[in-house]
Every structure is written in structure tokens, then in C-alpha cells.
Structure 1
Amino acid sequence: MSSNFLKSVDMRTSLAGMNRMELLMFQLDGPQLFGINVFKVREVIQTPKISPVPKADDRIVGVADIRGQTMPIIDLPKALGLKPIDDLENSLTIVTEFNSAIQGFLVRAVDRIVHLRWEDIMPPPDTLAHVTYLTAVTRFEGRIIEILDVEKVLAEVSGMEDVVTEETIALARERIGEAARNYFVLAADDSAVARQQLRTIFESLGLNYKIVDNGRKAYDLLKKWAKDAEDGMAPPVAERVLMLVSDIEMPEMDGYTLTRKVREDERLNDLFIVLNSSLSGGFNENLTSKVGANRFLSKWHSDELAQLVMERLEEMETKKAQAAG
């Protein structure tokens, strides 16, 4: 299958910010359909010649040269505990890009691309909460589509452990000290591995925090807190919440739509918003500005997010001191 199977990602940026997305559906083992956001996909190709890598994780089949670029090839069914792909010649490779890193995932077959609304993408039911690689589910033509947490697969296969460095923690203690305990961060991300990364960052800095798994839940919390402020039960949200850190692609409500709704609500529109995503491409920075977010940060850059938290804390403490003086 040639790369012409997919249009340029740039052609799809008009969907972002409209709570809409396109899903590439594929098969791994049997008739069940799985999905991945097209924004993460560079192309779908017939599996190329693969060179083995000694002592690599057994889920990494090897490396391949794609247009002069060497990338790891991961057996996606095997990574998910399904039957490994043994017929490489008749398999396909989904080439993906996360934070400017490129890798290929082996799949047995590709079905099609479908155009969906994020509100039709739902978190997995509670009975499937233990299925750690499942980030969302949706229905298409009467069939259930399982949307995979590919970030978790990558994190496990690569052994990636992105933590706040000791130097940054020491700097935070020096610059902000106990002041961190006076502030609260709200975060939203549908990836289990990303939520754990955020917990590690916030706890390293001594922050109070709440992390939810989709934009709808974050928005509902913000509206509740805004109502509490209106009723005199709490300070304004922008004074109470240091920042909102939101993923972009999430079930029910994406990060762009969440940002736009916050900016349209006069009770919330001063809130500092950070869009935090593994999706690559310059369109992220453009849409960040368009929907009204304050910053865009790539995932897996814990120190960068920690530095931004410190800057915000110092800014808030300065404002507080000026108001008191």
C-alpha cells in the first residue's frame, strides 16, 4: 500500500479545534478493528525489508530504512499480547511520528479512514479499566472500534522513562520552596502512561493536583469551580488554579475544544492553559494560538513542563505580593 493511501496531514488540520478527528482503522489478530488518530500517522506502507537488532526488546522486529531514515519496527500485536505477525511479506507497516521520533508498527491489515466527532469517542467502560492499552472506544457501522494507547506501547518497548531531573527538583526547591503547596494544577490526558508522567512531575514539585482522563471531565470541574466562586464559596478559578495542562486528542472533548470553551466563559477566560501533546507538526503551535492557549509543549519533556510551572508560580507569587503591598 503506497503512502498515497493517506493525504498530507496538513490537509486535516481544519478538523482540529472543531472536536472532530479522523481515525485509521486496522486489524491485528482476527476481525476486531483497532484505531489510531490519523494525525499520528505519516504513511501506511507494505512492510519493508527489516534488519534484526541484536539484544533488542523482543517486540522490536528490527529496523528498516524508509526514504533514507532508519526507524524501529514494532510488532504491534505482540506488544499487546496478541499473536505475533509471522508473515512479514503480507503485513503492513503504519509509520507514526511522536515528538519528532519516527517508528513503524506492524499490522495484519488496514481497513479504512473514518471521519468522527470526538464526542462519539468514549473512555473504555469500567469493566475494561484493566485493559491498559485501550485508551478509548467508538462505534462505526455497528462495530466497536478499540482505540489504542500507542504512547504506552512506545514507552514500554523503548524503556522510555522521562522524569524530572534532580537538578530541576533542587532548583524548584530553591526558587519556589513551600509556595507550591498553595497552588493547584488541573490536567487532562487519556493516556495512562502520560497521566503517570504528569503525577510524577507535580509530586516532584510539591504541587496539589487533579488529573482526569478527558476534556469533558476537566471542563465540568472548571464549571463547578466557577460556580463555587460565583456563590462566594471559593476564589476565582484563575486565582485558585495555577494552570490547566491538557492533552489534545481525548475522548468526548479534545484539548482544542476544551481551550476554546474555557476562553468563551468569562468566569474562566483568565486561566493559564498549556496544551501538551505528542502530536508532531507546526500546526500545533498555530492552533494553540488560534484557540487561545498560552503555551504548547511536547510530551516527554518533563523538565520543560517543570520549568514552566516554576515560572508560573513565581509570577503568581509576585502578583500576590504586589496586591498585598
Structure 2
Amino acid sequence: MAGVLDSVNQRTQLVGQNRLELLLFKLKGQQIYGINVFKVKEVLQCPKLNEIPGRSGVVRGVAHIRGGTIPIMDMNQAIGRSPLEDIENCFVIITEYNRTLQGFLVRAVERIVNMNWGDIHPPPMGAGKEHYLTAVTEVENRLVEIVDVEKILAEVSPVNETISAGVVEDGLSERVVKRHILIVDDSTIARKQIQRVVESMGIATTLKKDGREALEYVHGMLEEGKNPYDELIMIISDIEMPEMDGYTFTAEVRAHPQLKNMFIVLHTSLSGVFNAAMVKKVGADDFLAKFHPDELAKRVNDRVLAITGEDLLQEQGGND
């Protein structure tokens, strides 16, 4: 698989153009799966795995790769199926999610395809609630299932969602009783993680699963005669989403004269310097790497103080 992830700089040019590249792979059978290339650090033949006591059944072992120890998860087992066999002849996809490295054991790695996010669609309605797909697409008339890796990781190693003491100002929610936060993310798990943190602060939320749905929502507010600035505290949006990615969503909001000053934080498991550059390019107000409840809560806390501070000062002045 040497060279499969070459030309990373070229791939970064796709970001912000509503495009992505998928690394295609197989598990058992002929079904094709995909993962965004930006999440992938390396692809290699399965190295020697060392058993670890008390491990999750999904974790087949750990591997020592490039000076680090990385857990290797069986992708087929992680999505609720039987373990892969003959793992010495399998491949490992090394990924970076939520600031950590992990490996996923797969049967075979095929190739990389260039896609438009408009050709990536949410899972079918009949897929049920327990599926492990974040999206689907077609490549050469064959269905490609894009795995919700964040769901897998949340089940294998749940993250702490508790906000530390002192991060949130006392009485914060009382300042924004009639306002809410729009959360946009294609991963059900990621949406719920953000929602739980925000609502634990006493602040209401509205959830949308992709950029197009979120854009239709804010446009609908205008059509109903509502002022989005009076309704929304901020928008927290993922970057990688079917139909319309977070960069394109942000650019569309900025291009609308009645929405252009909306406060947008891009919140994603993607990492790399190109994100900071793209945040500036599309005009987002901030970028936050997933997932750290204190950092998320602080962004929300600071935004609430920013939009209510003047009102609070006026109230205090009137009471003197």
C-alpha cells in the first residue's frame, strides 16, 4: 500500500470546495466501505499484535508503530459482525480521531476516489437507529457505506462529557433563556455529545444532520420573519458532512446579507494546519478540535458573555 496516501498537499486543496477523497476498503464479503482520507495517517500490512489484559472485544491488540503504541480494532467486529480471520494477511488503517491515533483492521484496501460531498447522502431511513453508517454513496454503480467511526470509538472508549468546575459562569443560562444553539453534525453520536454538554449548561439546542439541512433551517427562520440573531447564540458545525460540508455551509451563510454576521464555530475531528487556514478562508469565527467538554463549554460560555455583557451592564447601571 506504499504511496496510497501520497500527495497530501494536493488533497488539502479539495477542502473548502465541497469535495473529499474516500479510501475504499473491504471487510468480509464484497461490500465496499469508505473512510475520509483526511482521517487516515497510514495504511500498512497488519503488524504483530500484542494482547492487552482487560481489552474490549473489538480491540484485537496493540501494535508498536513508528515509536508509538496504537490500539488495533477489528472494523468488522466493531460494526456488530464476526471477527476478521487470518489477520496476518489483513491490513490496518491508522487514523487520527479526536486527537488520538488508532488502527482499524480491514480485509483489503482498494483505492482512493475523489468525490463531491453532494454525492454523499445520509443513510437510508430504513437503516434503523443502531447502524454504524454516517453516509452512503455510489462508486461505479456500487454502493459504498461510510462508517461512523465516532460511534465506534464512543462505544469502545467512551469520552468524558462532564464540564469541570469553574468553566461556566454562574447564572449563564439565565442570560439566554429565549435563545438556543444550532448544532450541525452528521454523526448521531457527535450530535448527542455536543447536545449533552450544551444542555448541561442550561442552554437549549436545535440539531441538524448536515450543512444543507442547517442552511434550510436558517433560511426558514428568515422566511418566517424571525431574526436569527435574536434566536441563535451561535452555530456549532462539523466539517465533514454529506450533502454540504461545514466549510461550504459557512461560506453560504457568510454570502447571505441577513446571515453574514452569524457566529460559527467549526467543530471537527479533523486536524492539521490546513484547517486553520480554511477557517479563515471561509470566514468561520473559530475552530475547535473534537472532543473536549471543557473547551466546548468555554467557547459557549465566552459567546454568551459576549452577546449579553452589554445588556447586563445596562441592567446593573439601572439598579445603581
TM-score (norm 1): 0.93
Structure 1 match to 2:108: 109
- Give a deviation string over 1:110-145, Cα, whole Å, max 9, x none: 111111100110001110132431110111111111
Alpha-carbon distance in 2 for matches of 1:167, 1:11: 43
1:249 aligned to 2:247?
A: no
Structure 2 match to 1:275: 266
Structure 1 match to 2:25: 26
The change in CA–CA distance for 1:177 and 1:212 in structure 2 (over 3 A counts) is closer
Post-superposition shift, 1:99? 3.0
Aligned-residue CA RMSD (Å): 1.7
- Give a deviation string over 1:60-83, Cα, whole Å, max 9, x none: 111111111111111110111222
Alpha-carbon distance in 2 for matches of 1:314, 1:172: 10
Post-superposition shift, 1:53? 0.6
- Give a deviation string over 1:35-91, Cα, whole Å, max 9, x none: 100000011100111111111111111111111111111111011122211211110
Structure 1 match to 2:165: 167
Post-superposition shift, 1:14? 0.6
Amino acid at match of 1:199: Q
1:202 aligned to 2:198?
A: yes
Q: Tell me if the contact between 1:175 and 1:310 (Cα under 8 Å) persists in the aligned partners.
A: no
Map 1:257-272 → 2, pairs under 5 A: 257-272=248-263
1:119 aligned to 2:118?
A: yes
Alpha-carbon distance in 2 for matches of 1:241, 1:301: 22
Structure 2 match to 1:188: 184
Amino acid at match of 2:178: N
Amino acid at match of 2:16: G
Alpha-carbon distance in 1 for matches of 2:50, 2:86: 15
Map 1:212-227 → 2, pairs under 5 A: 212-227=208-223
Q: Tell me if the contact between 1:25 and 1:113 (Cα under 8 Å) persists in the aligned partners.
A: yes
Amino acid at match of 1:108: R
Map 1:141-152 → 2, pairs under 5 A: 141-152=140-151
Q: Tell me if the contact between 2:61 and 2:71 (Cα under 8 Å) persists in the aligned partners.
A: yes
Post-superposition shift, 1:177? 4.4
2:289 to 285, 288, 298: 298
TM-score (norm 2): 0.94
Q: Tell me if the contact between 2:25 and 2:33 (Cα under 8 Å) persists in the aligned partners.
A: yes
- Give a deviation string over 1:175-229, Cα, whole Å, max 9, x none: 514223232111110111101101201210111210111111000001111233x
Map 1:79-94 → 2, pairs under 5 A: 79-94=78-93
Structure 2 match to 1:155: 154
Amino acid at match of 1:221: Y
Q: Tell me if the contact between 2:162 and 2:197 (Cα under 8 Å) persists in the aligned partners.
A: yes
Between 1:188-197 and 1:178-187, the stretch displaced more is 178-187
Q: Tell me if the contact between 2:239 and 2:266 (Cα under 8 Å) persists in the aligned partners.
A: yes
Q: Tell me if the contact between 1:24 and 1:112 (Cα under 8 Å) persists in the aligned partners.
A: yes
Alpha-carbon distance in 1 for matches of 2:196, 2:221: 25
Q: For structure 1, list consecutive stretches of 5 or more residues without a partner in the other structure.
A: none
Structure 2 match to 1:63: 62
Alpha-carbon distance in 1 for matches of 2:273, 2:200: 30
Alpha-carbon distance in 2 for matches of 1:309, 1:53: 39
Alpha-carbon distance in 2 for matches of 1:323, 1:252: 44
- Greater share of helix residues, 1 or 2? 1
Alpha-carbon distance in 1 for matches of 2:88, 2:245: 37
Alpha-carbon distance in 2 for matches of 1:72, 1:94: 11
The change in CA–CA distance for 1:278 and 1:267 in structure 2 (over 3 A counts) is same
Amino acid at match of 1:61: R
Alpha-carbon distance in 2 for matches of 1:88, 1:242: 49
Post-superposition shift, 1:323? 7.9
The change in CA–CA distance for 1:211 and 1:177 in structure 2 (over 3 A counts) is closer
